[in-house]
Amino acid sequence: MSGGVDSSVAAARLVAAGHDVTGMYMQLSNADSFYKYGIDDDPQDAAAVAAQLGIDFLLWDFAAEYQREVVEYFASEYAAGRTPNPCLKCNRTIKFGQALDRAVAEGFDAFATGHYVQTSRAGGVTSLLRSRDLLKDQSYVLGVLNQWQLSHTIFPLGAETKAEVRAEAERLGLPTSSKKDSFDICFIREGTSAQFLIDHLGVRPGAIVDESGAVLGSHDGAFQFTVGQRRGLHLGHPAPDGAPRYVLSTDPAQGTVTVGPHDHLRVDTINGHSLTFTESRRTEPWDGFAQWRAHSRPIPAHFSYSGDTLTATLAEPAFGIAPGQFLVCYDTNRVVGSAVIE
């Protein structure tokens, strides 16, 4: 229970269905943390909902694990010139890693969250499906889960829309019914990602150059930029053709950020490593859909494998795909698995 409306309604539904439910809040920061995770009233809100529902409430401390697995990963990936996704890393290693493992070890039969996804079970296999509410669908951020994790998890909200969930929370009189949705990067509550990284990694000045190597500007750290970025370049003069320029690549070792025209961001093939499959491992080629951001439009793709490497050949060009992002593969609306883009 995060202290938000989604997990509150998920808990209420499980209670109404007759389950023996215990609420759990994940404490992800403490006095020694570099960042501040969570609004101050989040654990209090979660506890208040648990009390109203008449269920036990636990606070489990994963601050050290979260700092190591998510925050340090976020900073180190940018420092290496890649674009991380901390939400997927958190889901894999903390929420459905440390927390789920502890829940099973302590004797709980299942682990439930307020994510907007659906599951189906057949032949002893649990499949991960998109939510009914495609605007809130969170299957992308859960595309890193494996079969064991999915088989121990319940998602009570997958068949509902966000509006229906809020209305249900209001009918139940839950104190979180009107609470705003959470932040995109939960551990950056104030300022920008760029400022967070400067605070964490320090200032590392370098040059912004074009593809010929001509210096166009300067920056305080190549880690502040990601492939496809247009804003925040602060170049001294326009391109010769007057067209906007985009970040094509970053080289933290040299301290350079290379910019160029939009069509130079074109990608037709994606290679990925660190494969995860939600059901059984696939080795044969197949056709499906590729998605590399939480709410990007899925693009038809042909997937093939060579050892631990995935190749996705796109049916249409894509732009602004960055190394380090997660590629999630779909068979229609069913998640097949994921890879880290190389």
- Taking the CA atoms of the chain, what radius of gyration do you get in angstroms? 22
Bridge-partner residues for 60, per DSSP?
A: 26
For the chain, counts of helices (H) and of strands (E):
9, 16
Told to judge if 87 belongs to the known catalytic residues of this protein, a careful annotator would answer no
CA distance 203 to 342: 27
Bridge-partner residues for 219, per DSSP?
A: 206
CA distance 239 to 260: 9
Which residues lie below 8 Å from residue 153, measured CB to CB, with a gap of 6+? Answer: 96, 100, 110, 111, 112, 113, 119, 145
Told to judge if 186 belongs to the known catalytic residues of this protein, a careful annotator would answer yes
Q: Output the CA angle 129-134-135, nearest 5 degrees.
A: 140
DSSP 8-state class, residue 293: S
Q: Which residue is catalytic, options 10, 90, 142, 174? A: 90
| Tokens matching residue 154 | 């319940």
H-type alpha helices, the chain: 5-16, 42-53, 63-66, 72-79, 86-90, 100-105, 147-151, 162-172, 193-201
Q: Which residue is catalytic, options 21, 53, 186, 275? A: 186
Instruction: Confirm if 26 and 60 have CB atoms less than 8 A apart.
Output: yes
User: Which among 219, 224, 218 has a CA at the least distance from the CA of 198?
Assistant: 224
Question: In the sheet where 256-260 sits, what is the strand order?
Answer: 215-219, 206-209, 256-260, 246-251
CA distance 21 to 55: 6
CA distance 333 to 44: 37
- Indicate the pairing of strand 56-61 with strand 125-130: unpaired
Catalytic residues: 90, 186
